[in-house]
Amino acid sequence: MSGDYWQIFLTFGFFIILTFVCGLYCMLVSRNIIRAIIGLELLIKAVTLLMILVGYVSGRTSVTQAMVITIIVIEVVVAVVAGGIALRSFRYNDNLDIRGLKRLKG
């Protein structure tokens, strides 16, 4: 393993873990629906970065390129649907507090 290769691997690994921890922290700590969605997006970004790294390591960058673009498209659709639900929830509750979503129990 050459030094250059190892350095790219480490840099990518560091940022993947950083993004993942940020996303997880964001989802666990904040009580705002929009922030929860942003945390989710951060987590997906971390996985997308992992996909790029995997493509680099296994030497199949062209396949992973296609995969990463597909993941980005799907993730945008998820974000749009989540945003729509958040908007509707805001209209019912007049705030974006996630604690407003506890009508269903049992």
Partner 1 sequence: MLSLLILVPLIGIVILNLSARAPARRLAFWFALLIFISQILLAACRHPVLWNVEMKQIDTFFKVSLSMDQISFIMLLCIGIVSIASLLVARHTIYDEKELFKFVNLLIITSIGMNGIVLVKDIFTLYIFLEITALASFVLIALEKDRNAIEGSFKYLILSAIATIMLLTSIALLFMVSGSTSFEAIRQALNLANNNIILFAIGLFVCGLAIKGGLVPFHAWVPDAYSSAPAAVSVLLGGIVTKTVGIYTLIRLLIAVFGFDPSLKTILLALGALSIVFGALAAIGQNDMKRMLAYSSISQVGYIILGFGCGTFLGIAGAIFHIFNHSIFKSLLFVNSAAVETRLGTTDMNKMGGLSSKMPITGTTSVIGMLSAAGVPPLAGFWSKLMIIVALWQSGSKTYSFIAIMASVITLAYLLIMQRKVFFGKLSIENENIDEARIGISTASIMLAVIIIGSGVFFPLVFNKFIAPIQELIIR
Q: Binding to partner 1 by residue 29, rule CB under 8 A?
A: no
Q: Binding to partner 1 by residue 70, rule CB under 8 A?
A: yes
For the chain, the farthest-separated pair of C-alpha atoms sits apart, in whole angstroms, at 58
- Interface pick for partner 1 out of 8, 22, 34, 40 (rule CB under 8 A): 40
Number of H helices and number of E strands within the chain? 3, 0
Closer residue to partner 1 (CB): 31 or 88: 88
- Interface pick for partner 1 out of 1, 28, 77, 99 (rule CB under 8 A): 77
Rounded to a whole number of angstroms, the distance between the first and last alpha carbons of the chain is 56
